[in-house]
Amino acid sequence: MPGPGCSERMARVIDQLWEYIAIAVGILVILGGVLFGLLRGRGGRTKSAPTAPPREKEVLPGVGDDAEEPRDTPTRTIEDRGGVDTLPPAEPEVLAEPAPTPTIERPEAPAGRLQRLRARLARSNTALGKALLSLLSRGGLDEEAWEDVEDTLLASDLGVEATTELVESLRSKVKVEGATDEATVRGWLREDLLALVDPSMDRSIASSRVAGRPAVVLVVGVNGTGKTTTVGKLARVLVAQDKDVVLGAADTFRAAAADQLETWGGRVGVPTIRSDRDGADPASVAFDAVKAGAEMEADVVLIDTAGRLHNKVGLMDELGKVKRVIEKQSPIDEVLLVLDATTGQNGLRQAEVFGEAVDVTGIVLTKMDGTAKGGIVVSVQRKLGVPVKLVGLGEGPDDLAPFDAEAFVDALID
C-alpha cells in the first residue's frame, strides 16, 4: 500500500496535467475561431458585389514625367460567378488646343510700287495732262491760248511761280522749234515738268541705325490727313526692306489711335509702345518709344503724333515740346509732314507752319488717287524746300509708294 508521500506526488502530477489540458483547449479554441472566421469571410465575399480592379493609368504624350505614345485603353472584365461584366473604356482627357499663332504678313516690296499705281495717279490728273496737250497741239497759239494754258496749270495747284516758269519755257520752245505736233509737245512737257519736280532731291527716308542707335522718325500733320494710317503703311514699307521697326503711339488724345496703330504693327510683327491710359503725356510716350527702340536694337522708331490744326498756337507749342523731349533721348533724324493732297493751296499754309515748329524734312501726300491735282507736289516742295518722299494712292495696306519723280511726271502727261 502506497505511503502518504506517494499520494502527494500523484496529486501534484494530476494538477499539472489539468493545467496542460486547459492550455491546449484554449489554443484549440483560438485556432478554431480563426479558422471559422476565415471560412466565413470567404463565403461572404462570394455573395457581395464585384469590385473592379484598380484603373490602369493612361499615358498622354508630353504630359507629366512620361511622354510616350498613348496606349489603347484595354477592356476591363470582372469575373463573378462565372459571368463577365464589361466596363466601357474611360473617356480620354481632352487637352486645350494652343492659341493659333497670328499670321505675320509679308508686305509688297516698295520698289516700283508707284509704277504699279500709275494708272490711279493718271486718272486723278487727267485734267492737267490732256488739257495741256490739247491746247499746245492745236497750233497757232495766240495770247488767249497761252492764257488758257496758264489757267490750266494754276488749276492744277502748280503755283504762280512754277506756272510762270513753265509757260515761258514752252513759249520759247514753240517759238524756236515751230513744231506743235502732240509727240513733240509731250516731250517738251515731260522735260519741263520733270525739271520742276526736281529728281535730284534726296527722297530717301531715315531707316537705318545711326551711331549705334535707331533712326528716329517723327510723323506730324493736321487732323484728318490719314496720319496714323500713313505711319502703319510706312511700317510696312520699311519691313519689306527688312528693317526692324518700333512704333510709338504718341497720339494720346484720340481714343482709337493707339489701337489702330497697334493693329497695323501687329499685322507685320512690329511692336507698338503705347500708354495704358487715354490722355497721357504724348511727349512721355514718344520718349519711352525711342528708349524701347534702343533697347530692342531696332533700325528705326516711327512716332505717330496727334493731329493738330496749324492755326492753334498751343497745340503747335506742344508739338515742339514732344520734339524737345525726344531729343533728350536721341536726335530726331526725320520729320515727315502728312498733307492731304486734295486741300490744294490750303495745304501749303499748313506745311509752312509745321515747318516752323518742327523742321520738316519730308512730305507725305495722301489721297493722290482722288481729286488731287499733281501740281501740289511742285508747290509744296518750293514752299518748304524739302522733297515729297511718299504718296498715298489708295486705301489698300500697300498703297503708300516712295515718290518717283519720273513715274509721277509720266503719269501726269499719260
Residue ranges of the binding site for GTP: 221-228, 304-308, 366-369
Which distant-in-sequence residues (6+ apart) come within 8 Å of 13 by Cβ? none
Phi-psi region of 111 (alpha: psi -120 to 50; beta: other; left: phi over 0): beta
Residue (of 342, 323, 375) closest to 153 by Cα position:
375
Instruction: State which H helix or E strand residue 365 sits in.
Output: strand 362-366
- Amino acid (1-letter code) at residue 165: E
Residue (of 406, 201, 400) closest to 414 by Cα position:
406
Residue (of 58, 93, 50) closest to 74 by Cα position:
58
Instruction: State which H helix or E strand residue 285 sits in.
Output: helix 282-295
- CA distances in angstroms from 338 to 151, 211, 314, listed in the order given: 27, 28, 20
- Amino acid (1-letter code) at residue 370: G
Which distant-in-sequence residues (6+ apart) come within 8 Å of 7 by Cβ? none
Which distant-in-sequence residues (6+ apart) come within 8 Å of 245 by Cβ? 235, 238, 239, 265, 270, 298, 299, 300, 301, 302
Q: Which residue has the cell 499754309?
A: 349
Using DSSP's 3-state secondary structure scheme, residue 176 falls into helix
* Residue list for the binding site: 221-228, 304-308, 366-369
- CA distances in angstroms from 371 to 122, 340, 341, 342, 406, listed in the order given: 11, 11, 8, 6, 21
- CA distances in angstroms from 351 to 1, 61, 195, 268, 354, listed in the order given: 155, 64, 22, 31, 5
Q: Which residue has the cell 476565415?
A: 38
